[in-house]
Amino acid sequence: MVDILHRVGVVGSKDDVYAAITSPDRLAAWWTEDTTGDGDEGGVLKFQFLPGGFDMKVLETRPAERVLWEVVDGPAEWIGTHVRWDLHTEGDYTIVMFSHEGWREPVAFMNHCSTKWATYLMSMKQLVETGTGAPAPNDVQISNWH
Amino acid sequence: MVDILHRVGVVGSKDDVYAAITSPDRLAAWWTEDTTGDGDEGGVLKFQFLPGGFDMKVLETRPAERVLWEVVDGPAEWIGTHVRWDLHTEGDYTIVMFSHEGWREPVAFMNHCSTKWATYLMSMKQLVETGTGAPAPNDVQISNWH
């Protein structure tokens, strides 16, 4: 089992970062505009992109501290994996410790998703800090896989 | 042992991407301006940043195909790890399969380096595609750790 790991620091409160990863409206402002569903514990969030989408079951929400999703629909490589968000404060920053855990094999698509997650995390950071993110379909293109 | 994995696609030739990861002058244009040494097989490249630096022994160079570095000086967590670059063509793109392999533990610094590598790889992509990268000290700030 292999994991994607990232860390970004957002100049903003933990509450604002927590809202950015639990509210469908806020998620739509940094990840993909076509975001629906329920970001509270027990809910399912649906993230749709042009080529397909991901459905996330919300396993755990601890306000301003932690969010844990399980991928219940999407690409085969994603199903059953977990997306974990842990927040803490360091000075002016809310630190986001991010992991997308439980990939069965380090396939090329995992490399792609790792880089892509980094650009989306920067989009989330920009959203909280400036009010404007870069969600799909206007996200940063990193390669021929978009 | 845990690895950082990324994949970016550069609209440009494999020769141009290969130059970007072997020529000290080109490396200085996307990673850190303070880059010295020898990027050929058997050489040592020295990458200096404000808080410190990394010395890489060049273990393997296969022109326009592969570069493999071993970290011989730098932060304790980096020493002995390998940085691997594999290039191939897909249509108009040179695909860069990148890994920073052999971290002993998934420490928070690894999360940071994973996100930071993504932003540097985007800097390398921009350098090859547009002629201008964003090397340190004018790199993208991702957090309080810079």
pLDDT tens for residues B3-40? 888 888 888 888 888 888 889 999 899 988 999 999 88
Which chain B residues have a beta carbon less than 8 Å from that of A2?
2-3, 5
Which chain A residues have a beta carbon less than 8 Å from that of B93?
143-144
Q: So where are chain B's domains?
A: 2-130
Given the candidates 1.10.3080.10, 3.30.530.20, 1.10.1200.10, 3.40.50.620, the CATH classification of the domain at A2-130 is 3.30.530.20
Q: What pLDDT shows up at residue A1?
A: 67
Flag whether pLDDT at A68 surpasses 80. Answer: yes
Q: What is the CA radius of gyration of chain B?
A: 14
Average pLDDT, integer, range A37-48 = 89
What's the gap in Å between the CA of A1 and the closest CA on chain B? Answer: 10
Q: Which of B108, B115, B145 sits opposite A118 (nearest CB)?
A: B115
ipTM > 0.90?
no
Q: Report how far apart, in Å, the C-alpha atoms of B7 and of each of A10, A145, B37, B100 are.
A: 25, 10, 26, 12
- Maximum distance among all Cα pairs of chain A, rounded to whole angstroms: 40
Q: Which of A6, A90, A142 sits opposite B115 (nearest CB)?
A: A6
Which of these, A129, A140, A90, lies nearest to A11 by C-alpha position? A129
pLDDT tens for residues B79-100? 999 999 988 888 988 888 999 9
